[in-house]
Amino acid sequence: MKTRLVNLLKILVTLALLAFILTRVDLQLVAGIIARADLPLLLLATAMYFFAIFLSAVKWQILVKAQAIDASLGDLLAFTLMALFFGNVLPSNVGGDVIRAYDLARVTKGRAEAAAISVVVDRLMGLFAFFAAAMVTAALATMMLTQAQALEQIETATVIAASAFVALCAMLFSRRFATRIAGLFEIGPAKRFQPIALNVYRALQVYRFRYRALALNVLLSMAIVVITAGVWFVVGRAVGITDTSFFAFLLFNPLIAFVLLIPISFNGLGPKEAAVVFFFGLVGVPNANALAMSLLFHVIVVVTSLPGGFVWFMKRRHATAHEYEASEMLQPAPVSSDSSQ
């Protein structure tokens, strides 16, 4: 019941924000812009987004190897695609990181905690790169755009969120903090979870001195930020936004993503469109073009997530076939009805 209510609220927020935006633009104009969008450029943007997904699997593999987990890049890419499918296409409350952790844990043979921690640290390093980019771009936008007084509040919120994030990371990797938390698992029912907590602690400590792995992961995360800004830039060119420099797209990409950190809508629809119209309006992009760009960007996100559904279906079909073969092998042999015996 609670899950349905949350989903309903997200859908209502999405519809309310979209309705608000659509009242401020000419729908026929937006539809015309989308219809005339440059298809080759949209295909290029889609290919670039696929490349960003591939890099996401590569940067995750760096952390997986640090845990001495035997998982191929192909497997990690498949897990990433399935996570995107469930996170971007289906109206599910199961996050993509949960899907990644679950799928990796199934192939680690008793190292589920290490698999989960690799996903957590991968997300943390990605957020570190994102917050660093958001803080820099918010500061630059505030200084360089004369119409950007409203960005001062965004910059303040980014600094607060980044500070809280850094504090959280420090606590996670702190042995002193872990020692204090360990005492909680000596009390009553929590004692049952002490072995799991110990495995989680050990998995986290693996990364304490893996500076090279963490640095490579952050660098790839930064590269993904730049590539996704490039995707926005190419989509913008496809819908006629030709007077806006790449720097503006690089400036606004992490700020738009920062707005989407608040999970109040269905797959980011609504808040993303509002943020795109607002930010690009600061550099003179017409609302109709900005909205068309945002909607086409969302289409690219969905299209690049669809292969994950195919991968999930094939894996499920393969698993079902194996279960059927196993059940056939367990069937008792037929009893002969030969009367001569």
φ, ψ dihedrals at 251, nearest 5°: -70, -45
Taking the alpha carbons at both ends of the chain, their separation in whole angstroms is: 63
Q: Is the pLDDT of residue 335 over 50?
A: no
| pLDDT higher at 156 or 98 | 98
User: Is 336 within the bounds of a domain?
Assistant: no
Q: How confident is the model at residue 32 (pLDDT cuts 50, 70, 90)?
A: very high
Q: Is the pLDDT of residue 147 over 60?
A: no
Domain of residue 277: give its range: 39-315
Q: Is the pLDDT of residue 133 over 50?
A: yes
**What is the rounded distance in angstroms from the CA atom of residue 322 to the CA atom of residue 71?**
21
User: Is 21 within the bounds of a domain?
Assistant: no
Q: How confident is the model at residue 205 (pLDDT cuts 50, 70, 90)?
A: confident
pLDDT tens digits, one per residue of 94-122? 467 788 888 888 887 767 778 888 888 88
Mean pLDDT, rounded, for 294-301: 94
- pLDDT number for residue 339: 41
pLDDT tens digits, one per residue of 56-101? 999 999 999 988 888 899 999 999 999 999 878 765 544 677 888 8
Side chain identity at residue 4, one-letter code: R
Sequence-separated contacts (24+) of 186-194 with Cβ below 8 Å: none
Q: How confident is the model at residue 137 (pLDDT cuts 50, 70, 90)?
A: confident
Give the three-state DSSP class for 84: helix
User: Is 200 within the bounds of a domain?
Assistant: yes
Report the candidate in 89, 105, 44, 91 with the shortest Cα–Cα distance to residue 308: 89
The one-character DSSP state at 174 is -
User: Is 61 within the bounds of a domain?
Assistant: yes
User: Is 160 within the bounds of a domain?
Assistant: yes
Largest Cα span, the chain: 101
User: Is 323 within the bounds of a domain?
Assistant: no
- pLDDT number for residue 326: 43
Report the candidate in 226, 169, 211 with the shortest Cα–Cα distance to residue 55: 226
User: Is 142 within the bounds of a domain?
Assistant: yes
- pLDDT number for residue 14: 62
Per-position DSSP letters for 10-38, written without gaps between them: HHHHHHHHHHHHHTTS-HHHHHHHHHT--
Number of domains in the chain: 1
User: Is 321 within the bounds of a domain?
Assistant: no
Q: How confident is the model at residue 36 (pLDDT cuts 50, 70, 90)?
A: very high
